[in-house]
Every structure is written in C-alpha cells, then in structure tokens.
Amino acid sequence: MEQTNNSRIWNLIGLGLVIIFFLVAAIPMVWKSFTQSLPTDSKEITIRFAHWQLEGGVRRAFDLAAAEYTKLHPNIRVEQLAIPDKIYVNWLITQLIGGTAPDIVQMGKGMSDERTTRYFLPTSALSTKPNPYNKGTTLENTPLRETFIDDMESVFSTTLLDHYGVPLSAFTLRMYYNLDLLQEITGSTELPATYGQFATLLKQTTEFSQKTKKRLYHIAASGDNAPSLIDKVFRSQTGKLGDGLAYDFLPSTRPPAAHLGMAFANGEWDFNEPSMRAAVTLLRHLGSHLQPGFMQVSRDDAMFNFIQGNALMMPGGSWDYSSISAQADFPVGVGMIPTPLPDEDSRWPFSEGIISDESTNASVVMAVTKESRHSEIAQDFLLFLCSLATNEMWAQESGWLPAVRSAKIGSESQSFMPNLNGFTGGFSPGFSGADTKRVVQTSIGLAVNPNGSVDKFTNHLNSEFRNALASDLERNAIAAKINSQRADTVSLALYVLSQNGDASAADKLAIQLEGMSATDRGYQLGLQAIKLLK
C-alpha cells in the first residue's frame, strides 16, 4: 500500500516536472509568436550577407556600415559571413541550391546566366530612381545608376539584359614598395616616374644587394600578379601597331580578337614585328628583375617575401593595400607601374605615352537573393551601403576605393585613384583567351631567364602561336554560337510578352535585337579568322 502511495507521489512529481518543462518551453514560443504578429517595425529581423573579402579592414568596414544601419533601423540586425575565397564558389552554390543562401551575397565567382536569373533579384528597377539614402547630398536627385563611377555597367548583364546587384568598390594595379629600403638605396621616397629612371633604380638595387650582402629581390612577383605586369608591358609597345593593320576600324580601342587573328593569319603581324620585339625586349629587362620562378610562386608567398623585407617592390591590386600595410613593419609606398614614354629616349619609339587604368570598373558587387525572406529590407540595406555617405565611410575604413561618384577618399587611397589621362595601349599576346595566354606564360622563361633571349622567345611564339590562337578563336566561336542560339528563344519570348502588353519585355527586346546582331557578327568574324588560320 505504502509502495503504491510512493509510486503515486513520484508520478505526480514527474507529471509536475513535465508540466513545468512544457511551460518553460512553451511560454517563450507563445511570446515569440505573439511578438511576430506585431507590426513590422517592432519585429527583430536579421539580414545576413556573404562575401569573400577577407582582406584587412574590409570586414571592419562592413561591420561599421551594419552598425550604422541598425542605428537607423533598431529592429534590424545585419550580420556578415566572410567566406574564404578558395571555398566560396562551392559554399555559395550549395547554399543557393539548398535554399539556405543569405539575403545578400557577393557576385562574381561561380556565377552563370542561369544561376543569376534563377537565384538573384535584378536591380534595374532601383537603378532608375534616386537612392533615398542620398537625401541631402549632391546625389539627392541623381538616379542610382548614375551615382556609380561606371554607371552600373559592371553589374549589367548583356545577356540577361538586367542589372544584378550594386558595386561597392573599384580596383587598380599599382607597384608597392618598401619605403625605408627605397630611401636607403636611392635617398628618395618616391618611385621613379620614367622607365629610364626605373631601370637605374633596378641597377642601384642590385649594387645595394651586392654591397650589403643582403639577398634582396628587386620585385616580388607571382603567377597571380605577373600576368598583369606582362600585359601592361605589351600594351605599352603595341598601341601603334593597330594603326597599320587592315582591320584597324577602331581608334584607341583594342581590336577584337577575331580581327587580330585575321591580321595574324594574313601575315600583317607576328612576333618579329618591331613593336612586338620592343615589347619582348622590355619584358626581358623587367622580367629579369622579378623574383626567380615567379610564374610558379603563389600570391601569398610573393606577399610574404615583400612583407618580410626581402623585396624592394611588389606589383599588386589596390585590394591588397589594407593587408600589406597592416602586416608590414615598414612604411609601404604606392606608385604607378612605369612604362616607357615616347620622348624618354630613342629606345622605345613605339610608346604612345602613359598607359591609363583603362579597365577600372566598379566591383565588389552585392546582390539580393530571391530566397531572401526579407528581400525588401535587404535591398534597402544595399541602397544604404552604396549611398554616398556610407560608401565614403566604407572606403575610408577599408582603404579601398569607393564605387560611388564624388565620394571622398582618404589620403592613403589617393595613390590608387584610376588614372584615365593616358592611352589605352595596344594588345598583349594573350588577347584571345586561355591557349594564347598559356603559350606566353609557359614560355616566359625564354624571355626572362639569363640564358633566354628576345630571339628565343619570339621564335618560339611564332611557331606555337598560330595553333593556340586558332584554338582560342574556336572556343570563342562556340561560345558566340551558344549565345546566339539562346538569344533566339529569349528574343521570341520577349516579343510574345511585349505583344501581351509587357512594357519591360518590349524595352528589353529593343536592346536584345542590337545584341543579337553583334553576337552573330562576332561569330561570323571568328569563323572567318579560324578559316584563315587553318
């Protein structure tokens, strides 16, 4: 009997505990459910955005912008997810396919037309209206598109005919240098402005290294940054070459790959062309002062050499500045990459002048995902990010260039401002795609190694280039054909929708028709070039 009573008491205690735990679990849920039914203003909402910019300063700049946004909208919290770039593509695709992507993601890596249109909201509708966060500034009445340095061209998809995302920054290529070392070697704190003076600096550095018995690289380079340097070297010497070609239809513009291919096939240029030889001579001089084996060196290793004080200079993008200046224990200088000027001396008769930062497009593009549960708030946060005041703050904090026109930049970023007062330059041998780039990059040793020579490099390219060029143009032609085929279905669909009263489809169709002709023309030119090359 007593045992039965004890058992009943324990059962009651157990039941009581169950009820208590139930209430503990249920009350917050009921409370949450109650609060969620309140008007939007009092709901706490979290917006997440993902990017791969792990460079120093950038994450802090994003955090500051997020905090400023929360000050304006206390019920909205903004969290950033910084994903290493090596895994970004796989991570992003998994998230997109799984329906778990953040509200905003950085575009650029792993994107295709299909992914873009399937998973992201276009920003074309926003682009024609002023940014509300620019109220009270000089951009108050300016349509969003025109507030960016490139009129949002970098986020306009010429195939999808829509804008996707907004850009936050812009990048340029510069030469970083160890200011203390430079001063020790030359007594100056500035990099030389002309190539002749730069050549003297390289010589002085060799002498300094020998005298001090310090192993010092003139320029820390890697397979990551050297191709841009090589490209600039060639462009500085081949600007005038285009003028002599039969297919020179576009002044101050690099001829299309198919035209250059046709001219090469017709024997109008090859690597014995004087301007090409001048470019290779320049490459040999500059390349012989790069870190040995640079094409096999990783970006991190080159940067490590520079930061450790083992190299006087290192070419790099403006995106590297915050990381380099944070890690180097010496003052870091930033200068232009020098190329020969026409009146410098008679050695460089093919130089036109200073080569501009011609391809400075806005970048760090952020876009709202279609899966976002708070897409309107996410878009609003994007508008906040790319407003004049926030982009200015973001740029100053990150040390990167702003993407918004008239945004003031810090004194440290002045050296990275795009220089458009220069020539666009000519073309480099990797103009047509992966195969010509491969031929140049794998044979670069013939130009820059001590036992190499201008002749060895040019002879090699003359024998290998034709097949590589044909292979690239074939690939380009296939791509153009696929684009042309896709345009058939898209343009018909736009026409059908426009006939059904869809004004946006009518607008897109008007643009699509121009694109179709251009794609088809490119395809025909490519086929002709391949025919001539084979």
Partner 1 sequence: MILRKQSAPLLPWLSSACPCNVFASFLLVFALFPASSLHSESPLSEKNQTPWRNASVFLFNDAYAGFVKNADSADPMNRLGQAATLLNTQPRTSQNIAAAQEILLDLSQNPSPHSTLSKLSRFLLARIEENYLTPPQLGEAKSRYLEIVKDKTGIPLLELSASRLVALTTFAKDKPSENLAALAALEPLAGFLTTPEGTREFHLAMGLAILENEGDPNLVLSHLIKADKIGFRRKENVIHNWLVIARLSEKIGNKNLATEYYQRFINNFPNDPKTFGIQHRLTNLTKNGAN
Among 45, 160, 409, 417, binds partner 1 (CB under 8 A): 160
Pick the piece of the chain touching partner 1 (CB under 8 A) from 98-106, 367-375, 395-403, 521-529.
Answer: 521-529
Distance CA 402, CA 417 (A): 10
Among 220, 334, 490, 533, binds partner 1 (CB under 8 A): 490
**Angle between helices 503-533 and 454-499 in degrees, nearest 10:** 150
* Residue in 513, 445, 484 with CA at minimum distance from that of residue 161: 513
Position 485 contacts partner 1 (CB under 8 A)? yes
Among 137, 146, 372, 395, binds partner 1 (CB under 8 A): 146
Task: Show the binding pattern over residues 424-443: x = contacts partner 1 (CB under 8 A), - = does not.
Answer: x-------------------
Position 492 contacts partner 1 (CB under 8 A)? yes
Give strand ranges (E) for 191-233. Answer: 217-219
Pick the piece of the chain touching partner 1 (CB under 8 A) from 68-76, 335-343, 440-448, 512-520.
Answer: 512-520
Distance CA 447, CA 226 (A): 14
Position 141 contacts partner 1 (CB under 8 A)? no
Position 375 contacts partner 1 (CB under 8 A)? no
Pick the piece of the chain touching partner 1 (CB under 8 A) from 5-13, 96-104, 306-314, 357-365.
Answer: 357-365
What is the footprint of partner 1 within residues 167-226 (CB under 8 A)? none
Question: At closest approach, how far in Å is the CB of 362 from partner 1?
Answer: 13
Question: At closest approach, how far in Å is the CB of 377 from partner 1?
Answer: 24
Q: Which is nearer to partner 1, 163 or 289 (CB)?
A: 163
Contact 314, 226 (CB under 8 A): no
Position 85 contacts partner 1 (CB under 8 A)? no
Position 277 contacts partner 1 (CB under 8 A)? no
Neighbour tally for 534: CB within 10 Å: 10
Q: Supply the DSSP symbol for 273.
A: S
Position 520 contacts partner 1 (CB under 8 A)? yes
What is the footprint of partner 1 within residues 463-482 (CB under 8 A)? 481
What is the footprint of partner 1 within residues 97-116 (CB under 8 A)? 113-114
Strands 217-219 and 332-335 come out as: unpaired
Q: What letters, b where the CB count within 10 A reaches 16 and e where it falls short, cover 114-132? A: eebeebbbbbbebbeebbe
Among 40, 128, 138, 206, binds partner 1 (CB under 8 A): 128
Amino acid (one-letter) located at 282? L
Among 93, 202, 479, 497, binds partner 1 (CB under 8 A): 497
Distance CA 271, CA 265 (A): 13
Beta-bridge partner residues of 78: 47
Q: Which is nearer to partner 1, 30 or 478 (CB)?
A: 478
Distance CA 91, CA 71 (A): 31
Q: Which is nearer to partner 1, 242 or 399 (CB)?
A: 242
Contact 338, 198 (CB under 8 A): yes
Question: At closest approach, how far in Å is the CB of 373 from partner 1?
Answer: 22
Position 489 contacts partner 1 (CB under 8 A)? yes
Contact 105, 369 (CB under 8 A): yes
Position 93 contacts partner 1 (CB under 8 A)? no
Neighbour tally for 94: CB within 10 Å: 12
Pick the piece of the chain touching partner 1 (CB under 8 A) from 243-251, 310-318, 342-350, 467-475.
Answer: 243-251
Position 528 contacts partner 1 (CB under 8 A)? yes
Instruction: Tell me the site size for partner 1, rule CB under 8 A.
Output: 73
Position 494 contacts partner 1 (CB under 8 A)? yes
Distance CA 317, CA 288 (A): 22
Q: Is 443 helix (H, G, I), strand (E, B) or coil?
A: coil
Distance CA 334, CA 179 (A): 9
List the structure tokens of 452.
């190499």
What is the footprint of partner 1 within residues 383-422 (CB under 8 A)? 420-422
